[in-house]
């Protein structure tokens, strides 16, 4: 059999993660994502989706299994090629907005002067010239995350890992950042792994939505989203989108109920 498989992106095989002493965060997780896919992971809180993302980033260890990206084992090695957009942004408070972006570029190995230049261009493209020299403490939450997204996208990672990046933002900022991310994906065709608990957001952004169940975290189902790649042209209330979201919601509802029962049992 010689079907030509798409080149492998993130590959997770028989992954087990236990937080000592006995909390099973991930149990035999298997996931094969083609290179260049926009994937969302959704599940109730405590289902291990953030743990999975951290393992993919290389900042979390695991007990058993194999995790690789584009054929390269990850094994606890963080790299700019697999960069993370965090919910709490994590800008360096002692660096100005522009310097935060330049930090990412310099970490990738771009010479200082050129990094400054490119960082400047990102700031200008986002229309944030007024804030270029401002420290993070002086910026609003939305602007902060805009800089945070620029910082990650500027170094053009092959895998953009998103840990509920927009859930703390107001509607305006969220929409504009979602579109920034979509355009990056659309133009560069790099892989995106988007963890969220917001079903509408997952369906609106991703080509495929991975549903995870609660403790232990296992992958329950993968839902295709047959919407055009130019997602910014899709209305948020389009019937097709709402149908998929409803389907996912119903499944999630089951999982949430299960998770709650389990938590009561465990006495959390």
Query: Which residue in 108, 197, 220, 258 binds other proteins (CB under 8 A)?
Result: 108
Q: Order the strands of the 72-73 sheet from edge to edge.
A: 23-34, 8-19, 64-69, 72-73
Distance of CA 25 to the CA centre of its chain: 18
59 binds other proteins (CB under 8 A): yes
Shortest Å distance, C-beta 84 to other proteins:
4
Nearer to other proteins, 139 or 219 (CB): 139
Nearer to other proteins, 103 or 166 (CB): 103
Nearer to other proteins, 59 or 234 (CB): 59
- Residues contacting residue 194 through CB under 8 Å, at least 6 positions apart: 38, 39, 40, 41, 162, 165, 181, 202, 205, 206
- Pattern 117-146, binding to other proteins, x per CB under 8 A? ------------------x-xx--------
Contacts to other proteins from residues 68-87, by CB under 8 A = 78-84, 86
Distance CA 84, CA 41 (A): 15
Query: Which residue in 20, 21, 93, 267 binds other proteins (CB under 8 A)?
Result: 93
Distance CA 99, CA 153 (A): 15
Which of 142, 162, 152, 189 shows the shortest CA–CA distance to 42? 162
155 binds other proteins (CB under 8 A): yes
- Pairing label, strands 8-19, 64-69: antiparallel
Residues in touch with other proteins (CB under 8 A): 57-59, 78-84, 86, 88, 90, 92-95, 103-104, 106-109, 135, 137-138, 151-152, 155, 161
């Amino acid at each position: 059999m010689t079907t030509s498989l798409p080149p492998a992106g993130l590959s997770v095989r028989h992954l087990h993660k236990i937080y000592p002493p006995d909390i099973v965060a991930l149990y035999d997780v298997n996931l094969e994502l083609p290179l260049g896919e926009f994937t969302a992971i959704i599940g109730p809180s405590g289902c291990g989706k953030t743990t999975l993302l951290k393992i993919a980033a290389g900042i979390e260890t695991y007990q058993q299994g194999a995790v690789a990206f584009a054929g390269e084992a990850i094994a606890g090695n963080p790299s700019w090629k697999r960069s993370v957009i965090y919910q709490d942004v994590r800008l360096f408070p002692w660096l100005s907005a522009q310097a935060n972006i330049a930090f990412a570029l310099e970490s990738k190995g771009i010479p200082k002067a050129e990094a400054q230049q490119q960082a400047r261009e990102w700031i200008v493209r986002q229309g944030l010239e007024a804030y270029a020299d401002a420290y993070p403490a002086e910026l609003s939450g939305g602007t902060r995350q805009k800089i945070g997204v620029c910082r990650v996208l500027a170094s053009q990672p092959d895998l953009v890992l998103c840990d509920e990046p927009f859930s703390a933002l107001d509607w305006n900022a969220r929409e504009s950042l979602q579109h920034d991310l979509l355009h990056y994906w659309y133009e560069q065709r790099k892989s995106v792994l988007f963890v969220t608990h917001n079903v509408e957001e997952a369906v609106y952004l991703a080509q495929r939505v991975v549903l995870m169940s609660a403790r232990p975290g296992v992958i329950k189902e993968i839902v295709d989203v047959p919407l055009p790649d130019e997602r910014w042209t899709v209305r948020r209330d389009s019937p097709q989108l709402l149908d998929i979201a409803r389907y996912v919601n119903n499944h999630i509802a089951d999982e949430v109920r299960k998770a709650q029962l389990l938590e009561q049992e465990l006495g959390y």
